[in-house]
């Protein structure tokens, strides 16, 4: 199959499974209209996030990397009215778009959007005594090792950690000397594989987002 066929098959899945509704579609379009790069998760990956939250019975979710709030909506729907999602976004303008998208989707009451560098914000969550059942990491890849370490610190036994974008069109296999993202992902996977408290799998994917993938870990 070629890359266009991967995308077309994703579109078929979305159609047959009724995956992307008006609120999600509007969030994606609002991000594009605001000039954001089209790097939000695919519709199928967003649904998978919803299912992971549901299966894990997660009620407190941390998201590192909000963008326009597409994945945030999926997470917030799954935690339900009694749950909470805290999402961290570096860019104030992106956070503003995300808040409007969350309001349109009817989930803003269960989402807290924190603006600033995540490595500055994460210690404040620890100081607040926050603990999370599921952590979704989809931000600057160069800091992924630190983000996973924070996910461990803010989690507990059974916490699920999901990290997006681990294949990068195969660049992770043999990174070029200046490909800091690919090296960072390799370092993160090595750290996760060696960590005594993590059970981790790495899954390649093809589809609307090309050749990529995600890692899933459970905290012992």
Rounded to the nearest 5 degrees, what angle is found at the Cα of 138, between the Cα atoms of 110 and 197?
90
Instruction: Walk me through the domains of the chain, giving residue ranges and CATH numbers.
Output: 3-219 (3.40.50.150)
Residue count of the chain: 220
Which two structure tokens, joined as six digits, stand for 194?
């060696």
Half-sphere exposure of 200 (CA within 13 A, CB side): 20
Which two structure tokens, joined as six digits, stand for 72?
């945030």
Q: At 219, phi and psi to the nearest 5?
A: -85, 125
So what's the pLDDT on residue 3?
75
**At 1, is the pLDDT very low, low, confident or very high (cuts 50, 70, 90)?**
low
Task: Tell me the C-alpha distance between 7 and 44, whole Å.
Answer: 11
Q: pTM (2 decimals)? A: 0.96
Cα–Cα distance list, 24 to 38, 67, 93 (Å): 14, 13, 19
Model confidence pLDDT, tens digit, residues 18-72? 999 999 999 999 999 999 999 999 999 999 999 999 999 999 999 999 999 999 9
CB neighbours of residue 23 within 10 Å = 18
Model confidence pLDDT, tens digit, residues 111-128? 999 999 999 999 999 999
């Amino acid at each position: 199959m070629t890359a266009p066929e991967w995308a077309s098959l994703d579109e078929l899945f979305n159609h047959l499974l009724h995956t992307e509704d008006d609120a999600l579609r509007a969030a994606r379009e609002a991000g594009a209209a605001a000039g954001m790069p089209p790097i939000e998760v695919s519709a199928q990956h967003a649904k998978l996030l919803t299912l992971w939250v549901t299966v894990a019975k997660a009620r407190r979710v941390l998201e590192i990397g909000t963008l326009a709030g597409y994945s945030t909506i999926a997470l917030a729907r799954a935690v339900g009215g009694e749950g909470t999602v805290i999402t961290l976004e570096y860019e104030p303008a992106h956070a503003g778009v995300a808040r409007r998208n969350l309001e349109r989707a009817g989930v803003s009451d269960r989402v807290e959007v924190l603006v600033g560098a995540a490595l500055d914000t994460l210690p404040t969550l620890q100081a607040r005594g926050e603990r999370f059942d599921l952590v979704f990491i989809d931000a600057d890849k160069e800091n992924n090792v630190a983000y996973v370490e924070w996910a461990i610190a803010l989690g507990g036994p059974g916490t699920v950690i999901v990290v997006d974008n681990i294949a990068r069109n195969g660049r992770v296999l043999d990174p070029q000397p200046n490909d800091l993202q690919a090296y960072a992902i390799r370092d993160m996977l090595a750290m996760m594989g060696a960590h005594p408290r993590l059970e981790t799998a790495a899954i390649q994917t093809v589809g609307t987002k090309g050749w990529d993938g995600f890692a899933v870990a459970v905290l012992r």
